[in-house]
Structure 1
């Protein structure tokens, strides 16, 4: 929802003037009043706002975006800056997408298709990145892998086994319910299509029907009305969404929660770190259209700006290094650790990791890789997770610390915001943590690229993380003499503070001050970040 402030609240924003490149630029302060104690007007986001809300400005647009558009209009003004390579470790990227093909990294030291490791980096024909999964798609969850070992000496074995049993039974009953609902909705859609002799019948037409009680048409009308009451605009839309649910739970039962499932296809042992050098292949594309996560993430960071196509990325002079290491299930620690090292060794300055899990068989491998990135001046931006939990008290991997002692000074963990400035500011699904989450950024219903030249809104901390990766790249591009640690500190210091309480984890009974939910207590702001960066002695 969009919130429109009354003038008295807007007047509570003041400008702190700092000098910037070529002149002075104001840094936004934050409201000095609790907005929930001030009368506000709510109105829905327009389509344009919904497709771009993460780039909008809290003062000008009354939407809690990152002031990206303001930064380009008032500070960057067409300056390209230095090109930054951003590695996206994810499910694969459609590198042929109309809004991405011009921003994909190319390894100029490698000769395409000759079957030779021309640059001696251990990976053959890695022209645009690397695929550590090979042809695999489905995978187990980490708790399933732990339970499947039958090794009770593994830390948290009993916990993983118990959680797996509960999750399996839940998925089984959910799959059965979804199957039944899908059958009912599909039948209703066919019945009403036959009745109206068209498939694009409207809710108004259905609501006007008065079928005989107990007839098949009456059953179809009841099913349709139920779907309309739950936000669907058509039964075809309802069928598609319910089918997605059926497939989701089928994947869980057949692969994610199945102790017998074997998804690995790369010929290596995921529990031995250096058993096979260069496993996987150079195909960084998704294996299927529905494997859209990585393409969506890449678009948030770097979709070509102002080209008249679907979306604008946050950063204007980046190249995306595509690294496929996240399956439909939990990622292997080995793949993530190798992927981070690949990114660092091949020139990435920022790495985005929109993945995570509650269990980890080899967390030290990934921590070592995160430290390797930090030691080599690379920023690693990581999604906080979508379990509505406090990651200070509940495990979420990967992480950069052991007992709150950080191993990296360039790791940024990101929580998710919704497009509503008030008590519902924090996305209901977002993890949080005063010690283990650094900042928050737009993550709910973010519009971006998906495979085959299409665009879609998706939500998750997976969308908030690339927003911050994009701001990091933007700042570094404009101020390339900064160190990675300085860029991270700029991101944390320059955000907007929120002096109000928010609903946490979607639980209306859990209301906390926003600044309790992360280390910085702030919302990332690109406009402020550029100004703060300009003040650091070079």
Structure 2
């Protein structure tokens, strides 16, 4: 997403230049501000396993490998821990995941019968709450802002404010606020999408002139000025050189186009609603038994990556190592390419708890939660059953003490969930860049964990590096699973407490995410620290011995 915004910045400048100079393009790049320069200039790279390295290494990792080599070498795990991955779907046949995918032993695969009578037919590896009985699946969906706007728009459409009760007037004012935000977001998405369309058309023209399949294959020598160049060839050279000077590839432009295509045509589109695919009554919160057993779905890259961080098979000479070695990954597909719906989240949590999950990882988030009370009830159910919930703090570089994001541990009716962790993302770059520049922060964030350039599983036996608090959250979930496997007498709250009490506490002054303001790293979360699995195991040994 960071690169998408850089591309958009470049595209906006290019379109403005074309508009103001009669379709001629200034060959010099824009004067980017310092944060953009930091984004496009990476002085060094991290090893693919940096998040496993110890906190006293060059990279502030979580200490996974040190824990295995110095503490767990002669120990045997006592319990296989079930971690539910509530996400976009997971490639359960991936070479580095298949052996650790949860199996519902009470279900006979493929017989079309709910053998264990839990309400879900053939839920062998989990469940998909955003699919239909016919096997079709939701791919894209709207943002929650769009859904809130539509519900209020329909309620107040054609009504006069003079007829409102005091309560309705207050809700109408809220509607006006929502409408203003939606209209602004929709307009921004439209402008960005159209600008990117124009640039893609220009790039297609440049490729046609140079007779190449990608502008990135045009050599720098071919871009040198030539007296014999016609107007179109000159402009094609300017376009290619412009993006090359900014280190923006055609793939980057295509990725940005897909992002803003999604935002304009789906996420902020009031006429788009894929819920008919699921076939449930979305307003009926009592209806929990819908969906299908396709836990992979059409877009499983995010969920596979998250699952790999928690529990990819270790030391099999394939791809990468997960954090937890004695783990079962229960896959609960709930998150579309858009915002997850509260009803689905609540039902996914209940499904996971009822089917034995010890930990639930939730690498998703959004700005609105109109049915939070229903999610809260599921949180309470998880607490009652000693299940730990772990979630990313979000990727908006915002202080979530003042800008609320969901899910969070605070109940609408007061109080909070006991067994809940919110995780920010730390970077391998250290020093002033230790806090990931996209990570949300604040006292509602419990701790940070590695979340930049994290190498993990992606569909079809591939591997990629992703950024996000979505990657930091499963690092903590994996650490919790590792603790529970070796110390099964510890409760979910014990494990949470151990993880918080043993964080690495850097003294760094860092850039506050999203700005160039210098702050203490310790001010960015309630613990002021980064996940340290090695220290967590040392404390777990003491606490576990004391509880026997």
Which interval holds the TM-score relative to the shorter structure?
0.7 to 0.9
Partner of 1:242: 253
Sort the Cα spacing of 1:210 and 1:303 in 2 relative to 1 into closer, same or farther, 3 A. Answer: farther
SS at match of 2:117: coil
**Distance (whole Å) between structure 2 residues aligned to residue 230 and residue 286 of structure 1:** 36
**Distance (whole Å) between structure 2 residues aligned to residue 95 and residue 448 of structure 1:** 14
Kept in 1: contact 2:393–2:423 (CA 8 A): yes
TM-score, reference length from structure 2: 0.83
Kept in 2: contact 1:425–1:502 (CA 8 A): yes
**Distance (whole Å) between structure 2 residues aligned to residue 211 and residue 45 of structure 1:** 41
Pick the aligned partner of 1:56 from 53, 58, 74.
53
1:176-325, aligned counterparts within 5 Å?
176-194=194-212, 201=217, 203-206=219-222, 210=226, 212=228, 214-232=230-248, 238-264=249-275, 265-274=277-286, 276-288=287-299, 291-325=300-334
**Distance (whole Å) between structure 2 residues aligned to residue 205 and residue 58 of structure 1:** 46
SS at match of 1:273: coil
Kept in 2: contact 1:141–1:329 (CA 8 A): yes
Q: In the TM superposition, what is the alpha-carbon distance from 1:312 to its structure 2 partner?
A: 1.0
Partner of 1:36: none
**Structure with the higher strand share, 1 or 2:** 1
SS at match of 1:468: helix
Q: Structure 1 stretches (4+) deviating beyond 6 angstroms?
A: 197-200
Q: Deviations over 1:93-134 (max 9, x none)?
A: 111111111110000001111121111111111000000000
Kept in 2: contact 1:124–1:278 (CA 8 A): no
Q: In the TM superposition, what is the alpha-carbon distance from 1:304 to its structure 2 partner?
A: 1.1
Sort the Cα spacing of 1:243 and 1:198 in 2 relative to 1 into closer, same or farther, 3 A. Answer: closer
SS at match of 1:523: coil
Partner of 1:364: 373
Sort the Cα spacing of 1:109 and 1:211 in 2 relative to 1 into closer, same or farther, 3 A. Answer: farther
Sort the Cα spacing of 1:221 and 1:323 in 2 relative to 1 into closer, same or farther, 3 A. Answer: same
Q: Which runs of 5+ in 1 are unaligned?
A: 1-41, 233-237
Partner of 1:24: none
TM-score, reference length from structure 1: 0.85
Q: Deviations over 1:202-257 (max 9, x none)?
A: 6554456746455444333322222222224xxxxx22221222222122222211
**Distance (whole Å) between structure 2 residues aligned to residue 266 and residue 448 of structure 1:** 30
Kept in 1: contact 2:206–2:215 (CA 8 A): no
Q: In the TM superposition, what is the alpha-carbon distance from 1:191 to its structure 2 partner?
A: 3.4
SS at match of 1:252: helix
**Structure with the higher helix share, 1 or 2:** 2
Sort the Cα spacing of 1:80 and 1:129 in 2 relative to 1 into closer, same or farther, 3 A. Answer: farther
Partner of 2:121: 124
Kept in 2: contact 1:80–1:316 (CA 8 A): no
**Distance (whole Å) between structure 2 residues aligned to residue 59 and residue 198 of structure 1:** 44
Sort the Cα spacing of 1:231 and 1:70 in 2 relative to 1 into closer, same or farther, 3 A. Answer: farther
Pick the aligned partner of 2:483 from 457, 466, 475.
475
Q: Deviations over 1:277-307 (max 9, x none)?
A: 410011101214xx41111111111111111
1:444-455, aligned counterparts within 5 Å?
444-455=452-463
Kept in 1: contact 2:327–2:481 (CA 8 A): yes
Sort the Cα spacing of 1:421 and 1:319 in 2 relative to 1 into closer, same or farther, 3 A. Answer: same
